[in-house]
Structure 1
């Protein structure tokens, strides 16, 4: 390779630039993994959280995934129409909407997860479990630092 072409100047030393490039590559890889399944990264995340927390309030899912209320309402509407999610009412607060996966939603999540995990294993090739855990912990620490910076 041409050394001058590979010199990104100040970008070489900016972690944010490398995060963006990696995030873009991972997003493209995600899209390839779920091609044909009709699921997006955000809907996959919502299904994942609901699966882990059956009966969770809609607002809590939005908070956990940093999804604005209006976008969350639309997302849940779409997932309900697709028969992946069911809505319910919280017995302690009848105004609160609770969410659960349908059997179809569970199948969609499982099919997507299997494909995503297979692709992610290739992306993380050469890293052991400790390194992956450390990477995730580091990324979470950086995210929290950014969120608390203001």
Structure 2
């Protein structure tokens, strides 16, 4: 279980994942060698699963982001597996999540513009198998996008 020092390190790492080791260690109140040992331990125990690269798709010209919620026809026991396999083949799908409740799955889909979105929707989304109902939610703005919790 992470101690107070580990939590301090995690808070600093979340606040500035690109910080140099010496700066991160200083802000966390540890030496660089201690920082590395503690980060290694946090990785080994699975507390830190990965440090990920995040791409700003809008900066690359992908202006449309849509969240699609699906309810599947679950009379076929292969419905989930076949839907997920087909959704993975759609290059514009950036995220697939499954849920309990009236919504079974959610896909995040990006497109360059509305014309591209219409093409993706018609040619790739509407052809996904076992869909009994769907709802599209177009992203207007992101108010908060953070993995930070009180550590």
Q: Which has the higher helix share?
A: 1
> TM-score normalised to the size of structure 2?
0.31
Q: Which has the higher strand share?
A: 2
Which structure is higher in RCO with an 8 Å CA cutoff and minimum separation 6?
Answer: 2
